[in-house]
Amino acid sequence: MDKITFPKDFTWGAACASYQVEGAVGEDSRGETIWDRYSHIRDGRIYNLEDGDTACDFYHRYPEDIGLMKELNIHSLRYSIAWSRIFPEGKGSVNQKGIDFYRKLTETLLENGIKPCATLYHWDLPQALQDLGGWCNRDMAGYYGEYAETMFRALGDLVPEWITINETYIHTRNGYYLGLHAPGLRDFSASLLAGHNLMRAHGEGVKRYRAMNSGGKIGISNNYGTAYPLTGSKEDQAAAARQEGWRRRWFTDPLFGKGYPQDMAEWYKSQGVTLPKIHDGDMELISEPMDFLGVNYYHPDYMYYDPKFWPNQSSSKLTGLPYTECNWEIEPRGLYDLLTFLDRDYNHPVIKITENGSAWRDYINREGKIADDNRIDYLYRHLLACRKAIDDGVKLNAYYAWSLTDNIEWSEATSLRFGLIYLDYATQKRIIKESGRWYGNLCRTNSFDMV
């Protein structure tokens, strides 16, 4: 059987995020986050009125999860730090217990031969900062800078790779525009302003990291979904271009020194959107050179002209492809196209896939196994796309499966399972899924069988 082999030194990882796994929301002086506030309203905005109060209890059970990672030979864990464990009020005095937790977690990874990759912000903003306007407040970039520097000092000797911000597009779209995530706003102009400040915060993080000369690497994780026109009509083509303009170029061009895409800025003005005010130095800060671009990819966007959807006038539709439990179509060519577009448009950056994966209705079968062949199939097809992109010159050097374990999928809470490891939330028992075993074999051999 032919084998698909990856370059030597390729990193095979798995990812998770603080709010989604940690639980222990009231422990060790952790401050309230926007997700605690949002989920505790219990008006039906979260599946089954759930919350992340306990989640996977990773705060206490991380040694077990790290043990399972070791069993699977997973090389690296991408985890995130809860800002509110470090600064319960978002700024001011440091909570040493928070630092101690992340030091212990990071040391345990290293003791098990697992490379730490730490994300500084994965959506769980301290509520105290939301009370000051959240990401719409320009001062946030400075508060973030203080927090980031505190973490670089606390963990810089242990963590070789840092991610500043997770998914500016999804966080601002769902949290500030569509009201689907915390903090639950519905204001497109506010979402662009929040995005501008998140990208300024990213720049602050990169700048402060460089100033410390610690020798590690730093980048950002963006969420992309390659946009294709639903039909060949001019209207659908323009709708797809606008989606690409918003989801990809708006949140990537500035990072690489290209400024905001002019065509999109003009479009937004024509739709009555208030664009973020750009102050002197903002664009330079945002484009502080980083070491890699983190790519989170799940599905394509097949777009059609939809005049009712303000302001982009473009919506997506399912096209008949197989889809996952999230109703996300499975289209590996979207990942290949995305990787090659990013390589072409941003001067061949080093790329890490910092998330890719699928949710399915997993269950424990009569043999006590989770036989999730659909997840293996998804991984297989997307990894073939990665290999092809590498063959075509893309500088891809890491792949992180989303996710290590099933976890709290934000507003969908426990209803969507993305893990390589199954979580029985009632007992907190973990069971490695068949996909986890398949992935483990890939981590061990750096290859998989072509079928």
409 near ligand IFM, rule: CB under 6 A:
yes
Residue type, 92: G
Closest CA to 409 of 8, 131, 14, 21: 21
Nearer to ligand IFM, 218 or 401 (CB): 401
401 near ligand IFM, rule: CB under 6 A:
no
CA distance 422 to 424: 7
6 near ligand IFM, rule: CB under 6 A:
no
Report the nearest approach of ligand IFM to the CB of residue 197 (Å): 19
Closest CA to 161 of 191, 98, 205, 200: 205
CA distance 374 to 211: 46
| Lookup result for tokens 């792949």 | 399
167 is catalytic: yes
Q: Which of 65, 149, 161, 167 binds ligand IFM (CB under 6 A)?
A: 167
Nearer to ligand IFM, 305 or 378 (CB): 378
329 near ligand IFM, rule: CB under 6 A:
no
CA distance 69 to 76: 9
CA distance 380 to 403: 16
The encoded tokens of residue 350 equal 């080093």
Nearer to ligand IFM, 143 or 400 (CB): 400
The encoded tokens of residue 363 equal 């269950």
- Whether the link from the prior residue into 84 is cis, omega within 30° of 0, is no
Nearer to ligand IFM, 95 or 296 (CB): 296
The encoded tokens of residue 176 equal 């500030």
Using CB under 6 A as the binding criterion, the count of chain residues that bind ligand IFM stands at 9
CA separation, residue 152 to residues 126, 255, 335, 437 (Å) = 19, 21, 32, 34
Single out the catalytic residue among 204, 244, 355, 409. 355
252 near ligand IFM, rule: CB under 6 A:
no
Nearer to ligand IFM, 239 or 338 (CB): 338
Closest CA to 66 of 79, 53, 85, 80: 79
Nearer to ligand IFM, 199 or 239 (CB): 199
CA distance 48 to 45: 9
329 is catalytic: no
405 near ligand IFM, rule: CB under 6 A:
no
Q: Which of 402, 422, 438, 448 binds ligand IFM (CB under 6 A)?
A: 402
Q: Which of 355, 362, 372, 406 binds ligand IFM (CB under 6 A)?
A: 355
CA distance 424 to 262: 49
Report the nearest approach of ligand IFM to the CB of residue 112 (Å): 24
CA distance 255 to 300: 23
Single out the catalytic residue among 32, 149, 161, 167. 167
Report the nearest approach of ligand IFM to the CB of residue 408 (Å): 8
Report the nearest approach of ligand IFM to the CB of residue 175 (Å): 12
CA distance 108 to 158: 11
Binding mask 10-49 for ligand IFM (x = CB under 6 A): -------x--x-----------------------------
Give the binding site for ligand IFM (CB under 6 A). Answer: 17, 20, 167, 223, 296, 355, 402, 409, 418
Task: Give the residue numbers annotated as catalytic, written as ranges.
Answer: 167, 355
